[in-house]
Amino acid sequence: MKDLRSDSIILAIDDNPTNLKLLHRLLSAKGYNHVHLLSDSREALATYQRIEPDLILLDINMPYMNGFDVMDALFSLQEPLMAPIVVISAQQGSETTLTALEKGARDYITKPFEKNELLMRVQNLLDAHLAHKLLNNQALVLEQMVEHRTRELNDTRLSVVQRLGMAAEYKDEETGNHILRMSHICQLLAQKMGLPQRECELILHASPMHDIGKIGIPDSVLLKPGRLDAHEWEVMKTHAQIGGHLLDNDDSELMIMARNIALTHHEKWDGTGYPNGLKQEDIPIEGRIAAVADVFDALTSQRPYKNAWSIDEAIHYIKTHSGHQFDPKVVDVFIAHIDDVLVIKNQFQDD
173: three-class secondary structure by DSSP: coil
Catalytic-role residue among 214, 319, 329, 345: 214
- Rounded (10°) angle between helices 311-320 and 328-336: 150
Distance of CA 283 to the CA centre of its chain: 28
Taking the C-alpha atoms of residue 318 and residue 225, their distance in angstroms, rounded to an integer, is 25
Return the amino acid letter for 307. N
HSE (side-chain half, CA atoms, 13 Å) at 242: 15
Q: Which residues have C-beta within 8 Å of that of residue 213, sequence separation ≥ 6?
A: 168, 238, 239, 240, 241, 242, 243, 244, 245, 246, 262
Residues 313 and 306 sit within 8 Å (Cβ to Cβ): no
Is 21 tagged catalytic? no
Residues 235 and 247 sit within 8 Å (Cβ to Cβ): no
If you write DSSP's letter for every residue of 142-167 in order, what string do you get?
A: HHHHHHHHHHHHHHHHHHHHHHHHHH
Alpha helices in the chain (DSSP H): 2-6, 17-29, 44-51, 67-75, 94-102, 115-171, 176-192, 197-206, 219-222, 230-237, 239-246, 253-264, 285-299, 311-320, 328-336, 338-347
- By the 10 Å C-beta count (0-12 exposed, 13-18 middle, 19+ buried), 214 is classed as buried
Catalytic site positions:
214
